[in-house]
Amino acid sequence: MNSLDNYPNMSYCMCRNTLQAIEQLLDYMQGEGPYFLREMSRSERRAYDELYHRCQSFVRNAEELAEDEERYNAFIRSDNERFE
């Protein structure tokens, strides 16, 4: 299990809090349009680029987790059917 000591969110609310932060970011991006990127400082642009790559990693990991969960659920169903 990963330690969350150095992270801004507790494990029980990290998805909800991150979703709210992403929603804020998306609203701002849509509202500002092309000015969103033009007005960023260099450090903020680096963070934006890193966030982009982390979001891609999140999607890949989420897809893998969903596939693992489906395989596990299929195994449990077949195991339960065998003992019915």
pTM: 0.75
Name residue, tokens 């339960």: 80
Residue type, 49: D
Query: What pLDDT, on a 0 to 100 scale, did the predictor assign at position 8?
Result: 83
Query: What pLDDT, on a 0 to 100 scale, did the predictor assign at position 24?
Result: 97
25 or 78: which leads in pLDDT: 25
pLDDT digits (tens, 9 = 90+) for 5-53: 778 888 889 999 999 999 999 999 999 999 999 999 999 999 999 999 9
Query: Residue 9: in which H helix or E strand, if any?
Result: none
44 and 53 in contact (C-beta within 8 Å)? Answer: no
Cβ within 8 Å of residue 39, ≥6 positions away: 32
Query: What pLDDT, on a 0 to 100 scale, did the predictor assign at position 6?
Result: 78
* CA dihedral of 23, 29, 31, 37, whole degrees rounded to 10: 160
Query: What pLDDT, on a 0 to 100 scale, did the predictor assign at position 61?
Result: 98
